[in-house]
Amino acid sequence: MNAKITEMDIIRQQMVAIDELKKRLSTQATEAEPLAIVGMACRFGGKVQSLDGYWDFLASKGNAVSTVPAARAQAFAPEDVVYTQKASFLDDITSFDAAFFGISAREAASMDPQQRLLLEVSHEALEDAGHPIDRKRGDRVGVFVGIMASDYGELVAARRPAQSVDPYHASGRGFCFAAGRISYTFGFRGPSLAIDTACSSSLVALETARKSILSDECDFALVAGVNVILSPAVNAALCKAQALSPEGVSKAFSADADGYGRGEGCGALVLKRLSDARRDGNRIYALYLGGAVNHDGPSSGLTVPSGPAQTELLRRAWRTAGVAPEQLDFVETHGTGTKLGDPIEIRALADALGARETSLPIGSVKANIGHTESASGLASVIKAALMLSRRRWLPQLLTGEKNPLIDWAKTPLDLAADSAAWATRDAQRVVGVSSFGLSGTNAHVVLGEAIPGEAEAPAPEAALPALLLLSAKTTTALKRLIAQYRQLAPDWSTEDLAAICRTTRKGRAHHKIRCAVVAETGLGLQAALDGRELGEPGHESAIMRWPVGDDGSEQARQSRDLLARLEGTRRAGALFTSLGLQPEQLFAPGYEQVTALAVQIVLLETLQALRMDLSKVQGEALGGQLAAWARGEITREALFAQALTDTPPGGAGDWSLIFEVPATSRRSEPEPPSASLWTDLLALLGQVYETGASLDWAKLDGAPADPKAPGALLGRAPHYLFDRQRHWLAEVDQPQFPTNGTPVSTVQSSTEKEKPVQETAGQSVGVADSYTRFDESLLRYGSGRRAPYLHWAPFAETPDFSWLKVFCPEAFDGGLSEAQESHYLNAISQMRAQSLRGIDFSQVERVLDVGCGYGTDVFDLAAAHDHLRLDAYNITLAQVDVVAKEIAARNLGRRVRVFHRDSAKDPFPDQYQLAFAYQVVHHVEDKAALLANVADHLDDGGLFVLTDIMAEVDERLEHLDSEARLLPIAHWVTLFAEAGFRVLSVVDASEPIGNFLHDPDFDRNIQTLREHISAEEADFAVGPHMLGRMLRKRLARYSMLTLQRDRLLTKAALLQINAALLAAPVPYARLSAADLGFQTSGEARRTQAASGAGAGAEISARRAGDASGDGAAIAAQVEALIREALEMPESARLPKEAELMELGVDSFTALLVVQGIKRELGLNYEMSELLGPGTLGDHIDRVVARAQQARESSVRAADASQGIDELSDEEVLRLLAEEQALNAALGA
């Protein structure tokens, strides 16, 4: 039986249907609403660093192509494979403001430079959009990044041993992190996607962002694209495919088209709904009307473009945008400059246009800046948006004649002529932009002109004077920003000034170091910024006086003006109503006093809405009662009662409010008293801002009654100026392929069977040139004694021959006798044995010779220990060739490798348990780099055997002819500690080496030698003679050292240990062959340290003990651990007021810090604590308190244990309970 349908049931059903219809209409309206491009930023070749620079470059038909810079040449090697050495390059990809983004130097070096570019350019685009970044706010912003290559990460992965890969390697190279890092850094919570469709990546990212906004996944979107050229493999592959232009130029639509020219760049834009853009007062570059994405499908090849697929794409994109072919005013094509690709695109575009009668101008920005690949789509969009916003076409750069394979006469298309302004018309201008990927993925988007009155908020009346707010993260950066504003300000109109000041308040993040000024004109702003000297905070009182007067007075005029600017007239009238008065009586004769009171209440309510702290406001005269109300001490009713009782309505009096604020900047001259209450208010707010207060600046400009009404227009204020530092991994600059015609040393790889490893033989420099010339002399003279002359032997007495005879015996009558040679070789062998004494080779597998000469030591070790695998570096090509041949002759190819590389610059190819350098380091200019390189590739506990010369005086000694650079011993102490080396033993061999180099007849002997070698080569031989004299006069020391890579000890401990041992060397004559038992394993060294053996354990334990009761020492220790984890130089400031995340501390570096606190101080400080809330100073205070509590507990326990037998049972239980409670509090 059917239930009876009542009238109410029908009504309910109709109401549900109406609701569903409303939702559908709302969704359709949202989907139909165009989006607005409200912010953009870019960097491209040709020194393009800004939107204005990009416009000027394109308008002048600029060409960014240049020869590859010397520092980037490895990406275009070898020249016999990579036939072009030209492209469009960014000026500097190695530098980055890591500190600004809270990234440590350690992490920054591992980051792909594309990620760094994306952060900086995205920040500039957000600033251009007037969006203040506040990562704690968690804005619902989507991030969409087009990216297609990770050259940096791939080069590092290929050239860095797995043992030395940094934990940041993965996050530094992955595409997903390129987008995710932006969202993380800026605190965005919308979708975050990295998109790789090859050359169409960034345009596909833009279309993906559009759909994400319209589906309400995010409130607005940041879209970016980036491309950097570093990989020689990619260039080699493109050249093998004949894809690149030999001239490096994309000759779009030209008869000379011969492939594309590669380009670097980064572009970013901010996209939001048009209604939101109008509400937020954004300046709009262009409207995004719609777009489409498709794939070529089954074309004649994976990388071959499909004309029909392109035609279908264009028609669908135009339908989505609601645009007919006749409405298009310009098309920015893909236009790469290939002889066949351009005609296919033109034919597809012509087919899509159909029977269009008027000629459609086209262009391709790739002719100017090269093909920026994954960034190319946005490069084109930014060009199109600039044309639409400036209402002017940009000309097409054409190389030679037009492509004859395109029948221009039969297509409705032509290349854009010279730059020209648009003709005035009512219809909206429309531009299409295409981007086609090598993967077959194509994209086309349609942009429309932002018509004033429909797309932009109207320019409001300039509210002058205006308050300008500037801030930065460092004083240097703020000074640079002030200088930039000073330079630009004179050219600003009053409307520009008002909009720019509004942007600095509402559209910029407010950093800790600040400056605020009030001005009415651009010139006035320049003058106000003159002489601004940022100083330490002081205190001063800001006094605002409020004289009263009748309606026609100046005082009344100023009060009316203030109420109007604060949109407070209605609120003041409401106050009158609450008193039983009429709003019309505001400013009426006889009501001056109550009017003044109402005006000041509106002012104070505005300051409260701005979130200004009024707890310390004071007042003079009648202002005292007003201040009491502002502080919350009396009610409004009591305020009115007292004010009106003390002064009758028709009376006169002054109201003065005193705001005491810290003064954070000094002006060259005091500001004169203002004749405007509005100016006084702005000056007060500026002073409060400089103290670091967080004010809600949107309340100052007021909000429209209608939330859909246009907001006050924002201006194009200058961007933040980054303070960039170099962050770069050396592996990236290593050559990957041998250059054409250069000799190569070929040896067997230890990891690839029967596959030769080829190492580039670069240019020999410095000492390498000298050794090369020596080798050539020896070959000319026929000497077979190349190896011995590189070694100095320890002689107990001066020899009866000149050491020059060892170098070249055939040059002297009688030469070198067998007894003399035997004596020399035995002394060499003995010294080598002494240098390696105590080393347990059963614990060693891989060995490194830092400077191998002719490989004598490498071959000796290989013969003595058949399980060893040895690598050797040498910068002298002639010697490398000799060693390579000897490796082959001895059949050691599977165990020994030789590399023609610089030990101070080129990372070593493996990790080692033992390294040695005999008479090498004194030749090296950058000794710190060499030691750091060795340390990076030495296992923890690994040994570094070093024999070399040090200066015994307190200054650097040099003999440039022999490339000898001797540092004082104190410098070596620091160098070893900074590299993480602990000195285990020091032997002074100055006397026996001085004996060997002593030659009373040196002048005569060197003259004999000069008859057989050049004067320049003979000058080099003078070096050892001079060094011998230094040794004998104790100006220098010949040291034999054994160092250990020690990650257990801090730098301070290493400094103390190293200084003590280097100050008390053992004389060579007292050495015995006893095994000193150096421990190379970490476990063995920990056992040694635990037992108290060794200077390192003693010093570390003593240092920790001292620190436990000294708060300053503990604080310094924690700071040192943070510096070490972040790899910060000691000169860099660690601000105590900064949060650790701002300093670049993340989960990995936090782990290093907490491990260090446990190791050095014996305290448990958990990761969750370190990564929790609090500044650096807060964390240091907690560690200090915990350490001091631990010490007090230890003292109490010691005191208790001394008289434990004398305590009662109750006292023992009480002490036990205290100990357990303390342990629980400390997390023990």
**Tokens in use for 916?**
């040695």
- Higher pLDDT residue, 919 or 567? 919
**Contact of 644 with 675, CB cutoff 8 Å:** no
Residue 915 has a pLDDT of 96
Contacts of 258 (CB under 8 A, 6+ apart): 245, 246, 247, 251, 337, 339
pLDDT exceeds 90 at position 1092: no
Q: What is the pLDDT of residues 804-834, one digit of tens each?
A: 777 677 777 777 788 888 888 888 888 888 8
Residue 184 has a pLDDT of 94
Boundary-marking domain end, from 405, 420, 448 = 448
**Contact of 172 with 106, CB cutoff 8 Å:** no
Residue 674 has a pLDDT of 56
Radius of gyration of the chain (CA): 38
One-letter identity of residue 603 = L
Residue 591 belongs to a domain: yes
Q: Distance between CA atoms of 1033 and 759, rounded to whole angstroms?
A: 43
Q: Cα dist. 170→22, 94, 156, 178, 758 in Å?
A: 49, 19, 11, 11, 28
Under the banding of pLDDT at 50, 70 and 90, the label for residue 431 is very high
What DSSP assignment string belongs to 548-607?
Answer: ---TTSHHHHHHHHHHHHTT-HHHHHHHHHHTT--GGGTT-TT-HHHHHHHHHHHHHHHH
Instruction: Quote the Cα angle for 1003-1005-1010, to 5°.
Output: 95
Under the banding of pLDDT at 50, 70 and 90, the label for residue 777 is very low
Q: Are residues 922 and 1064 in the same domain?
A: yes
Report the run of H or E that residue 1089 belongs to, with start and end. Answer: helix 1082-1090
334 is catalytic: yes
pLDDT exceeds 60 at position 246: yes
- Overall size of the chain counted in residues: 1228
Under the banding of pLDDT at 50, 70 and 90, the label for residue 1213 is low
Q: Distance between CA atoms of 891 and 884, rounded to whole angstroms?
A: 11
Q: What mean pLDDT do residues 69-80 have?
A: 83
With a pLDDT cut of 90, the percent of the chain lying above it is: 39
Residue 756 belongs to a domain: yes
Q: Are residues 962 and 1064 in the same domain?
A: yes
**Contact of 597 with 640, CB cutoff 8 Å:** yes
One-letter identity of residue 829 = S
Report the run of H or E that residue 195 belongs to, with start and end. Answer: strand 192-195
What DSSP assignment string belongs to 950-984?
Answer: EESSSS-EEEGGGTEEEPBHHHHHHHHHHTTEEEE
One-letter identity of residue 462 = A
**Tokens in use for 220?**
């607005």
pLDDT exceeds 50 at position 624: yes
Report the run of H or E that residue 915 belongs to, with start and end. Answer: strand 912-918
Question: How, if at all, do strands 430-436 and 745-748 pair?
Answer: unpaired
pLDDT exceeds 90 at position 1101: no
Choose the catalytic residue: 123, 131, 218, 371: 371
Residue 381 neighbours by CB distance under 10 Å: 29
Q: Are residues 781 and 906 in the same domain?
A: yes
Residue 80 has a pLDDT of 80
- Higher pLDDT residue, 848 or 837? 848
Q: Are residues 779 and 869 in the same domain?
A: yes
Residue 1214 has a pLDDT of 56
Q: Distance between CA atoms of 919 and 414, rounded to whole angstroms?
A: 71
Residue 1088 has a pLDDT of 39
Q: Are residues 233 and 352 in the same domain?
A: yes
Q: Distance between CA atoms of 911 and 904, rounded to whole angstroms?
A: 16
Q: At what angle do helices 1051-1063 and 1111-1126 cross, to 10 degrees?
A: 100
Boundary-marking domain end, from 448, 476, 491 = 448
pLDDT exceeds 50 at position 770: no
Residue 792 belongs to a domain: yes
- Higher pLDDT residue, 674 or 114? 114
With a pLDDT cut of 70, the percent of the chain lying above it is: 79
- Higher pLDDT residue, 590 or 770? 590
Highest mean pLDDT among 255-264, 538-547, 589-598, 729-738: 255-264
As a whole number of Å, the end-to-end CA separation of the chain is: 76
- Find the range with the poorest average confidence among 17-26, 502-511, 569-578, 740-749: 740-749
Q: Distance between CA atoms of 1060 and 986, rounded to whole angstroms?
A: 10
Torsion sign across C-alpha atoms 832, 837, 842, 843 = negative
Q: At what angle do helices 341-353 and 307-321 cross, to 10 degrees?
A: 40
Residue 716 belongs to a domain: no
Q: Are residues 555 and 626 in the same domain?
A: yes
Contacts of 937 (CB under 8 A, 6+ apart): 161, 164, 848, 907, 908, 910, 911, 912, 915
Residue 1076 belongs to a domain: no
- Find the range with the poorest average confidence among 125-134, 624-633, 640-649, 1057-1066: 640-649
Contacts of 824 (CB under 8 A, 6+ apart): 788, 793, 799, 806, 816
Q: What mean pLDDT do residues 452-478 have?
A: 72
- Find the range with the poorest average confidence among 164-168, 263-267, 524-528, 593-597: 164-168
Under the banding of pLDDT at 50, 70 and 90, the label for residue 1029 is confident
pLDDT exceeds 90 at position 781: no
Highest mean pLDDT among 793-807, 1038-1052, 1190-1204: 1038-1052
Under the banding of pLDDT at 50, 70 and 90, the label for residue 161 is low
Cα torsion at 757, 761, 765, 768 (round to 10°)?
A: 70
Residue 840 has a pLDDT of 87
* Host domain of residue 543: 531-701
Residue 1201 has a pLDDT of 46
Under the banding of pLDDT at 50, 70 and 90, the label for residue 1190 is confident
Q: Are residues 434 and 540 in the same domain?
A: no
Q: What mean pLDDT do residues 106-128 have?
A: 95
Residue 667 has a pLDDT of 43
| Residue with the two structure tokens 């942009």 | 447
pLDDT exceeds 60 at position 737: no
Residue 350 has a pLDDT of 94
Q: What mean pLDDT do residues 360-379 have?
A: 96
- Higher pLDDT residue, 1153 or 756? 1153
- Higher pLDDT residue, 320 or 81? 320
**Tokens in use for 1153?**
């810090």
Residue 520 belongs to a domain: no
Residue 1200 has a pLDDT of 47
Q: Are residues 681 and 749 in the same domain?
A: no
Q: What is the pLDDT of residues 284-317, one digit of tens each?
A: 999 999 999 999 888 767 878 888 999 999 999 9
> 298 preceded by cis ω (within 30°)?
no
pLDDT exceeds 60 at position 957: yes
- Find the range with the poorest average confidence among 226-230, 604-608, 1000-1004: 1000-1004
Under the banding of pLDDT at 50, 70 and 90, the label for residue 1199 is low
**Contact of 1068 with 973, CB cutoff 8 Å:** no
Contacts of 409 (CB under 8 A, 6+ apart): none
One-letter identity of residue 507 = G
Residue 964 has a pLDDT of 73
Q: Cα dist. 673→465, 667, 851 in Å?
A: 14, 15, 74
- The CATH number given to whatever domain includes residue 67 is 3.40.47.10
What DSSP assignment string belongs to 776-841?
Answer: HHHHHHT----SGGG-PPP-SS--SS-HHHHH-GGGSTT---HHHHHHHHHHHHHHHHHHTTT--G
**Contact of 831 with 862, CB cutoff 8 Å:** no
Boundary-marking domain end, from 448, 468, 498 = 448
Q: Are residues 538 and 678 in the same domain?
A: yes
What DSSP assignment string belongs to 876-907?
Answer: -HHHHHHHHHHHHHTT-TTTEEEEE--TTTSP
Q: Are residues 63 and 5 in the same domain?
A: no
Choose the catalytic residue: 42, 123, 131, 199: 199
Residue 462 belongs to a domain: no
Q: Which of 969, 905, 897, 961 shows the shortest CA–CA distance to 933?
A: 905
**Contact of 463 with 44, CB cutoff 8 Å:** no
Q: Distance between CA atoms of 29 and 207, rounded to whole angstroms?
A: 19
199 is catalytic: yes
**Contact of 49 with 43, CB cutoff 8 Å:** yes
Q: What mean pLDDT do residues 566-591 have?
A: 83
Q: Which of 631, 437, 1074 shows the shortest CA–CA distance to 639?
A: 631
Q: What mean pLDDT do residues 943-969 have?
A: 80
- The CATH number given to whatever domain includes residue 1203 is 1.10.1200.10
Q: What is the residue-averaged pLDDT of the chain?
A: 81
Q: Domains in the chain: how many in total?
A: 5
Q: Are residues 15 and 93 in the same domain?
A: no
> 460 preceded by cis ω (within 30°)?
no
pLDDT exceeds 60 at position 573: yes
pLDDT exceeds 80 at position 725: yes
Q: Distance between CA atoms of 658 and 631, rounded to whole angstroms?
A: 12
Q: What is the pLDDT of residues 879-919, one digit of tens each?
A: 888 899 999 999 998 899 999 999 999 999 999 999 999 98
Residue 738 belongs to a domain: no
Q: At what angle do helices 1147-1161 and 1095-1107 cross, to 10 degrees?
A: 100
Residue 163 has a pLDDT of 59
Residue 202 neighbours by CB distance under 10 Å: 35
Residue 354 neighbours by CB distance under 10 Å: 12
Residue 1 neighbours by CB distance under 10 Å: 3
Q: Which of 442, 426, 446 shows the shortest CA–CA distance to 323?
A: 446
Under the banding of pLDDT at 50, 70 and 90, the label for residue 758 is very low
Q: Are residues 890 and 1007 in the same domain?
A: yes
Residue 798 has a pLDDT of 74
> How are strands ordered across the β-sheet holding 912-918?
896-900, 869-874, 846-849, 912-918, 938-951, 1036-1045, 981-988, 1066-1067
Residue 1210 has a pLDDT of 58
371 is catalytic: yes
- Find the range with the poorest average confidence among 370-379, 767-776, 896-905: 767-776
Choose the catalytic residue: 123, 131, 334, 719: 334
